[in-house]
């Protein structure tokens, strides 16, 4: 009897199954994903210092007074320095153009997969998915050997007689575009496919019966229905590319200014944590709208209300 009472009392104070199921992932994500952003925000107002860790505290407690010192110098520097502004613009430009390129290449591919026979669809999807599991580092590295001055591409073009001396492709923006499209293409195709495969074929047939051309069908029926997939695919490419570090570092040259690379250098080479934090805060502020867009499209997808 006593044991049962004890058990019941325990049940009352320990959270129920529901709270536990929600609470564990919520706490983890809050602690290791959301909270860190506030720390980044805090440190972006600190000053670099020669200490461990290398920044000053922004508040201190002296004579029963809490002093809060917000150093806006980091942000002022971001606004003043040409380097940072052009790095942000460069990142946005490269992300925008490569998203468009991925969409142009990825849409027909996703469309072809969704129209293939079901058994073949699984295999094709697997072929698209496999590279996303392989290190981006290795796929980018593969291009270094191909694009270099005495690499395969130049050798091939020389052999064809199209050029008489090697082209400088590695360490230019062109190489960055190739690398980005190459690495992020699967992320465009997968959500597009997931969307296209759900389309009701009878809509297209009905339109054709009523005399609509294939071209018209495509723009008036397929594209509007695929909107959620297009948004998800574009965001999956655009947002990570803005902060991309590996591709500009390995394939880009001195002309390639991207914010992910600048942040990395500030952090690892200059050990200026406050400036790196400020760079991250501004990047996040730029990306917050696309991220919310992505989250909304995912929420719709996850609830099955797409």
Partner 1 sequence: MKRFKFSSLMLVLGLLFIYLPMLILVIYSFNASKLVTVWGGWSVKWYIGLADNTQLMSSVVRSLEIACYTAIAAVALGTLAAFVLTRVTRFKGRTLFGGLVTAPLVMPEVITGLSLLLLFVAMAQMIGWPQERGIVTIWIAHTTFCAAYVAVVVSARLRELDLSIEEAAMDLGARPWKVFFLITIPMIAPSLAAGGMMSFALSLDDLVLASFVSGPGSTTLPMEVFSAVRLGVKPEINAVASLILLAVSLVTFLVWFFSRQAEERRRRAIQQAIEEGAADSWKQPDARRAAAPVSV
- The footprint of partner 1 on residues 238-297 (CB under 8 A) is 239-240, 242-246, 249-250, 260, 263-264, 267-268, 273, 276-277, 280, 283-284, 287, 290-292, 294-295
Residues with Cβ within 8 Å of 200's Cβ and at least 6 positions away in sequence, in order, are none
Based on CB atoms, which residue is closest to partner 1, 2 or 4? 4
Q: Within 95-154, which residues bind partner 1 (CB under 8 A)?
A: 105-106, 108-109, 111-113, 115, 118, 122, 124-131, 133-139, 141-146, 148, 150-152
Please state the closest distance from residue 5 (CB atom) to partner 1, in A.
21
Smallest separation (angstroms) from partner 1 to the CB of 161: 20
The token duo for 81 is 């320095």
Binders in 197-236 for partner 1, by CB under 8 A: 214-215, 218, 235-236
Closest C-alpha to 234, from 64, 128, 97, 65: 97
**Smallest distance, Å, CB 51 to partner 1?**
12
Residue closer to partner 1 (CB basis): 2 or 50: 50
- Is 17 a binder of partner 1 (CB under 8 A)? yes
Q: Residues 186, 229, 248, 252: which binds partner 1 (CB under 8 A)?
A: 186
Burial class (CB in 10 A: 0-12, 13-18, 19+), 57: middle
150-179 residues in contact with partner 1 (CB under 8 A) are 150-152, 155
Alpha carbon 38 to chain centroid distance?
A: 20
Tokens of 32: 């290791």
Residue 173 or 237: which CB sits closer to partner 1? Answer: 237
Can you list the positions of beta strands (E) in 215-297? none
What CA–CA distance (Å, rounded) separates 6 from 4? Answer: 5
Residue count of the chain, please give it: 306
Residue 290 zone, left/alpha/beta (φ > 0; ψ -120 to 50; rest): alpha
Contacts (CB under 8 A) with partner 1, residues 51-70: 53
Nearer Cβ to partner 1, position 2 or 285?
285
Residue 245's Cβ-side half-sphere holds a number of Cα atoms within 13 Å equal to: 10
Q: Which of 83, 135 has the CB closer to partner 1? A: 135
Contacts of 235 (CB under 8 A, 6+ apart): 290, 291, 293, 294, 297
């Amino acid at each position: 009897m006593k044991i049962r009472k004890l058990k019941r009392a325990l049940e009352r104070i320990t959270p129920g199954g529901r709270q536990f199921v929600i609470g564990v992932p919520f706490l983890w994500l809050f602690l290791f994903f959301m909270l860190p952003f506030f720390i980044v925000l805090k440190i972006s107002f600190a000053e670099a210092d020669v200490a461990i860790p290398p920044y000053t505290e922004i508040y201190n407690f002296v004579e029963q007074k809490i002093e809060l010192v917000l150093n806006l110098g980091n942000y002022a520097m971001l606004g003043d320095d040409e380097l940072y502004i052009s790095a942000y613009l460069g990142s946005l430009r490269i992300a925008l153009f490569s998203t468009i390129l991925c969409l142009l290449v990825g849409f027909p591919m996703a469309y072809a997969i969704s129209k293939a026979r079901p058994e073949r669809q699984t295999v094709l999807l697997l072929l698209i998915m496999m590279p996303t599991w392989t290190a981006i580092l290795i796929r980018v590295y593969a291009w270094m050997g191909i694009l270099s001055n005495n690499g395969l591409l130049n050798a091939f073009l020389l052999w064809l007689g199209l050029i008489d001396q090697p082209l400088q492709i590695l360490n230019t923006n062109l190489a960055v575009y190739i690398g980005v499209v190459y690495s992020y293409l699967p992320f465009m195709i997968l959500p597009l496919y997931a969307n296209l495969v759900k389309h009701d074929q009878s809509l297209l047939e009905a339109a054709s019966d009523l005399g609509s051309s294939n071209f018209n069908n495509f723009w008036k029926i397929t594209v509007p229905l695929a909107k959620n997939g297009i948004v998800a695919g574009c965001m999956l490419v655009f947002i990570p590319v803005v902060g991309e570090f590996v591709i500009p570092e390995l394939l880009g040259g001195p002309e390639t200014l991207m914010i992910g690379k600048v942040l990395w250098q500030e952090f690892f080479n200059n050990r200026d944590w406050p400036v790196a934090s400020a760079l991250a805060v501004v990047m996040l502020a730029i990306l917050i709208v696309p991220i919310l867009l992505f989250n909304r499209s995912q929420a719709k997808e996850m609830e099955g209300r797409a």
